[in-house]
Structure 1
Amino acid sequence: MTTVVLGSASPARRRVLRDAGLSPQVLIADLDEDALIDEMGGIAPAEVVTRLARAKGEAIVSSILSDGDPGFADARADGVVLTCDSMLLLDGELSGKPHSPDVAVARWRRMRGRTGHLLTGHCVTRLRDGAAVASVADHKSTQVHFSDVDDATIDRYVATGEPLKVAGAFTLDGLGGWLLDGITGDPGSVIGISLPLTRQLLARVGVDVTDLWT
């Protein structure tokens, strides 16, 4: 059976895949995302997240193929590597994880009562007999309608620490879900990985997702 490797530290992405019948191994890419974004210059926002997902995929694949870790022997022989990157687009500006409470509060005060686009880049790389034989990448865009919440609610949400660790400073499947009026598009992509897009990318590298169901 083809081995699935998820190149992400996100428990939400892993949960989405597990709930959808996959049992991925996890390997985290060591990348300076901010430096990569700076190198990209003024390219389109969708291309930014797609290139970041591809860069993560290249790093994960390089690690799997070069270090000889026996834990990834099956993946080297017959595997697929899934990597993603998400950012929020609002007013023509992309934002990732805020990291600090002050940044998270400022973002929420700008987002409330408005609609942004959560962009998630996806990359799928096919491994066969110790080599990467195919790689494809694309993105998914989903509209997010933020509730017009008051300052006290924003402060209490930021104080939980949740928005500091997620793209756009919100979650759909956590506490942030209380502060959204809804979404238009793929909810999985907002959580971190789009199942329809991943299925399509898998097909492009010759893998039927039903063969990966456990």
Structure 2
Amino acid sequence: MRLYLASTSPARRALLAQTGIEPVLVAPGVDEDAAVARREAELGRSLTGPELVSLLAVAKASAVADAEVAGRTVDGFVFGGDSAFEVDGRLYGKPHDPEVARQRWREMLAVGGGTLWSGHCVLDRRADRSGAVAATPSQPGGAVRADTVPPVRPLPASTAGDGVIADVTPGGSAMVADGDRVVAVDSAVLTFAADVSADEIDAYVASGEPLEVAGAFTIDGRAAAYITRIDGAPSAVVGLSLPMLRSMLLRGFGATWHELWAL
């Protein structure tokens, strides 16, 4: 069974590869700024963290799901993901500029930490779905403890078009299902070391690592030494929540994780 990753992110590909999954990488070509601007214009306000990452996750997966990849139609599951870091009510995307990254680190350290929002969307584009077992909110794909994954809810009619998820508390998660689509948001609360110096910030920014990543840090890189605690799935901080993706496949489509392994 194939998993198409609507992303060219090396971190997301490596994360999946570590678990035995070799995804097909496809650049979604989504204008993220335009998509967010349209949604905010419709709402007349700024998007929350969960709204932003779920909106873009859906947009990315949708852009790849009905496209041709290497001259062939997509046959498998399509995953789209997005991340944003929230500090004291402010959402941080990719800083791009060294001075912006430096200022964000000062602000993050002053507060002490923040919430990493991770948006997920899985679309079922398997050519043969005859053996699929669709899970439902009242009949999940497997037995679960109440504290491990959020319940699968029907997608509210008001958000059926874009799959936006709004009601998630920091450190929490939510999952909604709508036919061949499952959308979810997971989050992790991070605590930074209290004694990171200005010299350390300058050295980290000079490495170039924080410039093109949400929140201006990577937990799987040089910044790992500056993060003292993670409350939530560590993989969500890297780029996608592996426990959430597994749950989406199982509870949304009756597909097991090991079916995606590249054996």
TM over 0.5: same fold?
Answer: yes
Given that residues 104 and 158 in structure 1 are in contact (C-alpha distance below 8 angstroms), is that contact kept between their aligned partners in structure 2?
yes
Tell me, in whole angstroms, the C-alpha distance in 2 between the residues paired with 1:104 and 1:63: 35
How well do the aligned residues superpose, as a CA RMSD in angstroms? 1.8
TM-superposition CA deviations, 1:46-88 (whole Å, max 9, x none) = 1211111000011111323xxx633x45xx2x30111110000
Residue aligned with 1:112, SS: helix
Residues 122 and 137, structure 1, Cα contact 8 Å, conserved in 2: yes
Whether the 8 Å contact between 1:135 and 1:205 is mirrored in structure 2 is: no
Q: Deviations over 1:120-166 (max 9, x none)?
A: 000111113399x7111111110011123111111110011000011
Higher relative helix content: 1
- Structure 1 alignment gaps of length 5 or more: none
Scaled by the length of structure 1, the TM-score of the pair is 0.90
Number of positions where the alignment pairs a residue of Structure 1 with one of Structure 2: 205
Distance 1:199 1:187 in 2: 15
* 1:207 alignment partner in structure 2: 255
Is the CA contact (8 Å cut-off) linking 2:2 and 2:76 kept in structure 1? yes
Q: State how far apart, in whole Å, the 1-side matches of 2:182 and 2:253 are.
A: 7
1:177 is matched with 224
- Any gaps of 5 or more consecutive residues in structure 2? 130-178
Q: Detail structure 1 runs of 4+ shifted over 4 Å in the superposition.
A: none
SS across alignment from 1:181: strand
SS in structure 1 of the partner of residue 22 of structure 2: coil
Q: Percent identity?
A: 40
The reply to whether residue 163 of structure 1 matches residue 164 of structure 2 is no
Task: Report whether the alignment pairs 1:141 with 2:177.
Answer: no
Q: Could you tell me which residue of structure 2 aligns to residue 48 of structure 1?
A: 52
TM-score (norm 2): 0.74
Q: Which residue of 2 aligns with 1:98?
A: 95
Residue aligning to 1:187:
234
